[in-house]
Amino acid sequence: MQFSQLVGLTIAGASLASAACPPRIEDGIKAGDDLARWAQDSINAFFPFQDGWQDAFDVAFSADVDATFNATVFTFDTFKTAYEGFYQLLDGGFGGTFEHGFLSAIGVPNAADSGGFVTVTGWEGGLIGGAGGPLLNTTDAAFIVIEETESCERKIVEFRETSNLGKF
């Protein structure tokens, strides 16, 4: 094989590799709704009040995520460690009564791939100490930047969360 043929095959292979990802949904509203639904599903999976959240955390977040919770800045590892602390609080502190949900989710898709931006607002709470305890009901919001990876997955690369649950 001649060098020029090898270069041509390499370039063609690179084009095929980048073209392997399915195109984003063309309808911008549907693409935004799809992105927002992905973010909600990811949050539901990694929200640290249920067993298995750690695996979902690893799937959703990029290894180089830039994250904040209220005024604290985190890396992937320090954010996961903080979530481990949240899990202990939410799992034990509410005696199985902790729940969360969304008030709104707005997805703004990228023009060329399945990434984009999502803003969510929500609520969380439960009975402190379990059944019969006082109700704690709080609100939160997050701004999320999602990128499409070379393997066509979505990953959260920026996560800015604020919550008044942090006062608990």
Return the residue matching tokens 């309808």: 27
Provide the residue type at 15 as one letter.
Answer: S
Q: What is the DSSP pairing of strand 154-163 with strand 61-69? A: parallel
CATH of the domain at 9: 3.10.450.50
Domain count, the chain: 1
Listed as ranges, residues in the chain with pLDDT below 70 are 1-19, 166-168
pLDDT for 19:
54
Rounded to whole angstroms, the Cα distance separating 32 from 111 reads 11
HEC states along the chain?
CCHHHHHHHHHHHHHHHHCCCCCCCCCHHHHHHHHHHHHHHHHHHHCCCCCCHHHHHHHHEEEEEEEEECCEEECHHHHHHHHHHHHHHHHHHCCCCCEEEEEEEEEEECCCCCCEEEEEEEEEEEECCCCCCCEEEEEEEEEEEEEECCCCCEEEEEEEEEEHHHHC
What is residue 165's predicted lDDT score, i.e. its pLDDT?
A: 78
pLDDT score for 151: 95
Res 166: pLDDT = 60
pTM above 0.75, yes or no: yes
Q: Identify the pLDDT of residue 74.
A: 98
Residue 10 confidence (pLDDT): 38
Q: Which domain holds residue 147?
A: 3-167
Q: What integer pLDDT is reported at residue 20 of this predicted model? A: 85
